[in-house]
Amino acid sequence: MADRVCEWITITAQHDIHETSTPNGQAWVEILRALWARHDCEGYERTYWGRVLEERDKLWIWTSWETKQTYDSHKNTDQYRSLHNLLALLSNTLPSTSLLQFDHKWSYNKHLRSSWPSITMAYFTHPIPEDQRTRIRNIRGMWPSRRLLGDLAVYGGPARGFLLPSADNVVPTSGAPAEVYIFLDYWESPIREEEVRGPEELIDMQPGPPPLGDLKRLSTLFEEELREAGCVEKVVRHARFNALLEIRSPHEQAKGKSTEYDWETGRRERRERVRKIYGDEEDEEDEEFLQGLTISS
């Protein structure tokens, strides 16, 4: 297990916080300044923030810390308390903070800004024994099969880990105490995520030389492995993350990047890429497949 932790702050805020001409926008800029002021704290690495696409009033602020010890030291400072007072004044609901401890040592934020990430939250009945934790960590997740170089759906492997114990860790529908495991996938685009979650992404369950063995849809395999490991509920969310930098252009930095995706253009560009990589013989099959994707904006 890696020492690095992600401080995961959740607030709800009106969309006028992205307009610096409004009182809420000015308050948001002050929060961004307070977040940036932590950049010289011991153990601080990087902060990202973004709107949750499925819950547009919800905003996540993720900050990476080298160790839980350095984060705990920061929690005992006036700087920490001042920041959370500002968050409480802006948020329409009580801000919540979770700590996510990743399984691996490499930084989870390497692809956060450039990708269209999905965050899968898998809930398990609390408490769970260590052997079950090991089984959960070995779940494949939505890691797609490798195709031709240059046609990968994700920017590298997923980041994953457990939320550290907290009274806020509950099953969404029942409110029962839960252990929560996070899968963070870095999608190249929403259209590629739709493909991988669709019926065409098949995994060879008996890998080896041709002919292929028993093929199973990746999304089905993921659901089965979660269920067999004891998952009682799963929630998938998406966010577009902005890297926090020193506030030099408040209007632009408070606004953040667009959360909109042009599905029509995405489908057209994907068809062109499929033709370029796989050749004309794939055109009819891929055209039918891409037209049949279930798209939700």
Reported as a single tens digit per residue, the pLDDT across 73-131 is: 999 999 999 999 999 999 999 999 999 999 987 778 889 989 999 999 999 998 999 99
Residue 163 near residue 177, CB atoms below 8 Å: no
Reported as a single tens digit per residue, the pLDDT across 155-197 is: 888 899 999 999 999 999 999 999 999 999 999 999 999 999 9
Residue 65 near residue 2, CB atoms below 8 Å: no
Which of 49-53, 144-148, 267-271 has the least mean pLDDT?
144-148
Residue 208 pLDDT? 67
- Check pLDDT > 80 for residue 206: no
pTM over 0.85: yes
Q: How far is CA 157 from CA 79, 145, 160, 192, 213, in A?
A: 35, 12, 10, 15, 24
The confidence band for 258, taking pLDDT boundaries of 50, 70 and 90, is confident
Reported as a single tens digit per residue, the pLDDT across 189-202 is: 999 999 999 998 98
Residue 80 pLDDT? 98
Measured between alpha carbons, how far is 119 from 137 in angstroms, rounded to an integer?
Answer: 16
Instruction: Tell me the average pLDDT of the chain.
Output: 89
Q: How far is CA 179 from CA 39, 100, 127, 169, 279, in A?
A: 31, 12, 7, 7, 47
Place of tokens 């252990």: 179
